[in-house]
Amino acid sequence: MAGEAGLTYEDTDDARHIQEVLAELGQIQQTPRLVTSPEEEMEALEHEMRQRTDHLGSLLVGYHLQHALDSAVLQAEQARLVPQWPQSLTNDGRVQVRVHTVQGYTVPVWVTYSRRQGPRRAGKRYAGVYASLVL
């Protein structure tokens, strides 16, 4: 779905989350803390900073990954891969999946899910593939 200015709703959500974390980091920068004990307070401050910057880094990775997944080049590669799959696949639409980053956070991305053709078994998910993630 396209929103204003050609951005998808997923793009604006990603941008909003990134801006929220940047605002939190800016707030920390604006109000410096008085650290009097290196063992406890300094470690807690370092841990908090590392946590927030890792979170920001993960959000940025997800943002760039989504743009790569939506790129025309990757879409063309996916269109070539799906017909070559050992089983016949049909496009089941875009679904949200969560990707784990090195920092330990999960970021949501939207990818096309291609599944085997035919009826599915009761209560079972269609056997398929996220071709763009395979690439």
Note the pLDDT tens digit of each residue in 14-53.
889 899 999 988 988 888 888 888 788 888 888 989 999 9
Confidence band, pLDDT 50/70/90 cuts, at residue 67: very high
pLDDT of residue 2: 39
Confidence band, pLDDT 50/70/90 cuts, at residue 122: low
Confidence band, pLDDT 50/70/90 cuts, at residue 7: very low
Global pTM reads: 0.74
Q: Is the Cα torsion angle 118, 124, 130, 131 positive or negative in sign? A: negative
DSSP the chain: -B-GGG-BHHHHHHHHHHHHHHHHHHHHHHS------IIIIIHHHHHHHHHHHHHHHHHHHHHHHHHHHHSHHHHHHHHHHGGGSSS-EEEEEEEEEEEE-TTS-EEEEEEEEEEESSPPPTT-PPPEE-HHHH-
